[in-house]
Amino acid sequence: MKNNLSTEQIAQYQRDGFLVIEDFLTPDELSFWRDALEEAVANRNGNKLPGRAEVYGKGDDADKSYYDNVFTQLINLWQDNGKMRWIMLDERLGKMAAELSQTDGIRIWHDQALIKQPWANPTSWHLDTPYWSFSDRRALSIWVALDDATYENGCLFFVPGSHLQTTFDNPGIGKNMGAIFTTYPQFKNSRSVAAPMKAGSCSFHNGLTIHGAHANMTAGYRRAMTCAYMPDGNTYNGIQNILSDDQVRQLNIGDLLNDDTINPLIYKRR
């Protein structure tokens, strides 16, 4: 794993709000991640979350049949698959996330398999952090390509620097590809940057960077394994997102999100 970040890469991430790392995984690691994904997906029986069919928030504001064909989305595979747990709890990933976000500790918010099926819809331009149960401008995600992600099958796109100006206002993620530019008109004329990646490469992006993905114009799959990271020390903001009804009942706004069974601390600076 290419887990050592240079000061230039960290500065680039801070400036652009995203960073691509080519050939992040070795061929053996890529094959282990693919096996883990296959096993974890097969054991899920279609549930998006462990023991739960749907997620609150993302997509609820969109036409469901359209959103269901943006990608197959399976969340928190680390909680019910041993291989995925081993992959996701890797301290090296947490250290990279901490260095990029300039934080001292990193917790998993949630992992997520995002599988664009053949002929899948595009992923409309959107932000991530406003969906989550904490509000931190430094929160970020890793996105690892498990197939080549190309212009044809749905590679990611980013609006560089947008994370410096976006807020927690969330136009959602619906059918209208460009809805976000009504909420953030200052980016209407921005240049977007494509991030095609070979399988095994990855990107990190700030959850407030405007990003999206092409439709899958092919008969093949575009599989990605991702993980959203919460800087340690964050508190509950009242948004349910991936939390269960029981968890929400026990939380008050302002409570620390420090339960290692839900949000494991995978890195702490010593």
Ligand X SMILES: O=C(O)CCC(=O)C(=O)O
Judged by the rule CB under 6 A, the positions of this chain that interact with ligand X are 71, 114, 123, 128, 141, 143, 154, 211, 213, 224, 226
13 and 202 Cβ atoms separated by less than 8 Å: no
Nearer CB in complex with ligand X: 105/122: 122
Distance (Å, rounded) from C-alpha 178 to C-alpha 180? 5
Structure token pair of residue 108: 């998993």
Distance (Å, rounded) from C-alpha 72 to C-alpha 78? 17
* 3 state DSSP class of 246: helix
How near is the Cβ of 122 to ligand X at its closest, in Å? 8
Nearer CB in complex with ligand X: 5/215: 215
Distance (Å, rounded) from C-alpha 64 to C-alpha 60? 7
Residue listed under structure tokens 């749905």: 154
How near is the Cβ of 252 to ligand X at its closest, in Å? 28
How near is the Cβ of 120 to ligand X at its closest, in Å? 8
Nearer CB in complex with ligand X: 33/143: 143
52 and 76 Cβ atoms separated by less than 8 Å: no
Structure token pair of residue 38: 């296959």
Nearer CB in complex with ligand X: 193/268: 193
Nearer CB in complex with ligand X: 209/234: 209
How near is the Cβ of 246 to ligand X at its closest, in Å? 26
Nearer CB in complex with ligand X: 166/251: 166
Distance (Å, rounded) from C-alpha 210 to C-alpha 180? 8
Region at 113 (left for phi over 0; alpha for psi -120 to 50; beta for the rest)? beta
How near is the Cβ of 209 to ligand X at its closest, in Å? 9
Nearer CB in complex with ligand X: 114/257: 114
How near is the Cβ of 109 to ligand X at its closest, in Å? 11
Q: CB atoms < 10 A from the CB of 54, how many?
A: 12
Distance (Å, rounded) from C-alpha 74 to C-alpha 224? 11
254 and 239 Cβ atoms separated by less than 8 Å: no
Region at 104 (left for phi over 0; alpha for psi -120 to 50; beta for the rest)? alpha
How near is the Cβ of 71 to ligand X at its closest, in Å? 6
The contacts of residue 248 (CB under 8 Å, 6+ apart) are 240
Nearer CB in complex with ligand X: 37/114: 114
Specify the length of the chain in residues: 270
How near is the Cβ of 154 to ligand X at its closest, in Å? 6
